[in-house]
Amino acid sequence: MKYFWLFIVLILVGACSPTLRQSYAKLSPPEKGWVVFHPFKASAAYAISKNAEKVKDSIITVGIIGSDNNGGHLDAFKHSFWMARLTQDIGKRAALSLGKAHEKGNYRTYKKSDLEDGLLPDKQSTDMDLHNNTVGNNIGIRYKKASKLLVIQLVLDSLQNGNLKVLLKDNNGNFLDCQQKRIPLDSLKNKWDTKKCLISSN
């Protein structure tokens, strides 16, 4: 059965635009595996993912939650909004499994010492993303028919109410541990489980 779906995916990828083919080629193996098992939801997921990036950029322009896309409020918003919109469109399970595939891809990125958003992925960042994905998933389930603007507001409300998670940092953007001590950058190199501290978003 797996090879049947792989055959379907190859047909769909071959028939799609060069942009989609390039995007598929850039996916991590776990994300490509998700596409194999969700071939008819993949194009919708791609469109939602691209739109989530545009919404994130718009949020930066407005300046209401800052511009920290690596462990900050913007990062938390992006994941939760993305997952809420995915859930509305492709369903709870498919959305959550895509979120998990993305994080598995980040672990592979770490193992290869590649960077994501300028930094090496780690366990605490992954835990943050998975938590915020779950919150977004619940929003998508509860507000299945909500407009994009309402979903944006619901995620911002979750952020303000402390339902999302962010990584603790000082005013200069340095990561802090749970005792609010600055974590030296050297101690973060080539480590999956770091001393970064997850806190509520309020």
pLDDT value for 21: 61
pLDDT value for 17: 52
Q: How far is CA 69 from CA 102, 156, 167, in A?
A: 16, 15, 11
Tokens of 22: 């390039």
Phi/psi at 165 (nearest 5 deg)? -120, 145
Mean pLDDT per segment of 10 residues, for the chain of length 202 residues? 40 52 76 86 90 94 91 96 97 95 83 65 93 98 97 97 97 94 88 94 94
pLDDT value for 20: 57
Spatial neighbors of 38 by CB under 8 A, at least 6 apart, are 45, 90, 94, 97, 98
Query: Comparing C-alpha atoms, which of 104, 88, 103, 202 is closest to residue 151?
Result: 88
Instruction: Report domain extents, the chain.
Output: 42-200
